[in-house]
Chains A and B, each alone.
Chain A
Amino acid sequence: MILLEDVHFAYDGLYTALQGVSLQIDDGERIAVMGSNGAGKTTLVKHLNGLLRPDRGRVILDGVDTKHYSVAELSREIGLVMQNPDHQLFLETVEREILFSLDNLGYSKEESKERCMRTLNDLGLEGLAERSPFTLSGGERKRVALASVLATEPRVLSLDEPTIGQDARQKDKLASMLSELNEKGKTVLVVTHDIEFVIENFPRTVAMADGRIVADGPTNSVLSNTEVIEKCSLTRPQLTDAAMCLHAIFSDVPQRITLLDDLEEAVVNVLGGT
């Protein structure tokens, strides 16, 4: 379990990014963190593995204040995939990039190789093992960064904007991988602006604005709260929007719909056919 207690943080002691964030993350949870640009989401996840340390307040992992751990120690437990893959990738080939973190964690050559291949396959990167990350497309580089962390199978996986530059198929693959890991007991936390991805995959949503948590609870209730939507610079996903537009004309269409199947049934009912 990870516990953030009243965490405050300012970059260079000047630019306030977190102003008293308290959050409990239980083992095996799936949590989405949403909010406007500059709300403090990235700053928050960088506190989980010690890349940033609180100015005030505490980050506690399984009852122990993380100030007692180094980033290297925390990284075994908490994997972080950064938003910009170019801040993370540095080796000559995709394969070496992924072997690097595995070697660092002390896996045997065979085990490393096997995990590396498995992860590349899972992410649809198998054909790119020998390529230099810098000759890949933005979406592919993003997946390489993801693979380098996924391969180490940390207990807690935090992903900063994993869906950027991914097409629908890659997004579906990512979602099913995350749910598989989650079923194995891993905790998954994502920072994202992708509201559809959140609704479809994350039961709990933490909404942030101005360095504070403004809502934390079941995704459906957090994301249907118009005040939260406004404060966090979110917009309604098209499905919700369609339901609301239809509801305004046909009152028997429910105002809140989150599944395409339900919208389909509602429209079929309106049109009185089967």
Chain B
Amino acid sequence: MSLIEFADFSFKYLGADSLALRKVDLKIEEGEYVVITGPSGCGKTTLCRAINGLVPQFHRGYIAGNVIVDGKNTRESSVAELAQIAGLVFQQPENQLVTLNVEREIAFGPENLGVAPEEVRRRVEELIDMLDLDHLRDKHPHEMSGGEQQRVAMAATLALKPKVLVADEPTSNLDPKSAEAILNLIAELNKRDMTVVLVEHRLDLVSKDASRVVLMDKGRLIADGAPRDVLTSDLCQEIGVGIPKATQLYKRLKKRGITLDTVPLTGAELAAIVQEVKRR
């Protein structure tokens, strides 16, 4: 059984005049790193909300089809229940932080779910260590940089021991260095068996780590596959999704009759592939 399964799922927000998601079929297996991308307003955020039950439990509306997460139908399960399976991280960490210090912030979720105090303490220390938050213990969230706030928000999400981390543009408010650090951390978590669903526009930053890219447009899934296949499809251009420069160059060269052996996703990959071709 898949960890996440969308079966012919459609959703329309209360008061909206068009569907946010249209007949979505999507299966995500344990251990995958899935990047969701597509034009602004295409339904990416709604898809994330549907994974942890915010849609339809909190955001109400017209609903058809089902979403099954770790065997639970999101129509019938509470957000609190689903939060232990799917942890959400948002774009604005400041909207997510609710307490005044790092330890309490991380403890907040598990405490609310009635986890035993010793276990809560153990998780707090483990996450402070893993996300390198020790120096922030005594800081107020407003004294932290955006990158630091986002690391704390991630720690608080991970404290619920979710099976899948769902991150909705988690780095778009961060400076490039902090963004890189957060994305490296997410890739690292995925290597330690955490399933990841990440919404991102900047594919040059994330496609190298992803096992799969899903392309959305107007509430529908229009492509789904390995990053190198999806990013070279002309669909990206048609719907206005930006692909990495190295991948763009691959496509341009191909048009001129030069076909590189593999599709590069980064500058370093491009250089290595060109070197390989040159050597022959």
- Tell me whether A168 and B178 are in contact (CB under 8 A): no
Q: How far is the CA of A83 from the CA of B143 in the complex (A)?
A: 19
- Beta-carbon contact of A234 and B40 below 8 Å: no
B249 within 8 A of A: yes
Closest residue on chain A to residue B142 by CB atoms: A15
Query: How many of chain A's residues touch chain B, expressed as a range?
Result: 35 or more
* Residue A136, interface by CB 8 Å: yes
- B45 to chain A minimum Cβ distance, whole angstroms, is 6
Query: How many interface residues does chain B have, given as a range?
Result: 35 or more
Any B CB within 8 A of the CB of A116: no
B246 lies within 8 A of A238 (CB) = yes
Contact B266 A267 (CB under 8 A): no
Once the chains bind, are A242 and B267 in contact (CB under 8 Å)? yes
Inter-chain contact A168/B204, CB cutoff 8 Å: no
| Nearest residue, chain A, Cβ from B173 | A164
A195 at the interface (CB under 8 A from B): yes
Whether the Cβ atoms of B45 and A137 lie closer than 8 Å is yes
In the complex, residue of chain A having the shortest beta-carbon distance to the beta carbon of B203: A168
Chain A residue at smallest Cβ distance from B46: A137
Instruction: Let me know if B248 is at the binding interface, CB within 8 A.
Output: yes
A-B contact pairs, 20 of them (CB 8 A): A83-B173, A135-B13, A135-B15, A161-B173, A167-B241, A170-B40, A232-B175, A234-B175, A238-B267, A242-B266, A245-B268, A245-B270, A245-B272, A246-B271, A250-B274, A250-B278, A264-B253, A273-B256, A273-B257, A273-B258
**B interface residue numbers (CB < 8 A to A):** 13, 15-16, 38-42, 44-45, 91-92, 143, 145-147, 169, 172-180, 201, 204, 239-242, 244-246, 248-249, 252-253, 256-258, 266-268, 270-272, 274-275, 277-278
Q: Which 10 pairs from chain A and chain B are nearest by CB?
A: A169-B240, A139-B40, A168-B242, A242-B267, A241-B267, A245-B271, A233-B177, A37-B146, A235-B176, A37-B145
Give me the interface of A with B, judged by CB distance under 8 Å: 15, 35-38, 83-84, 131-132, 135-140, 143, 161, 164-171, 193, 195, 232-235, 237-246, 248-250, 260, 263-264, 267-268, 270-271, 273-274
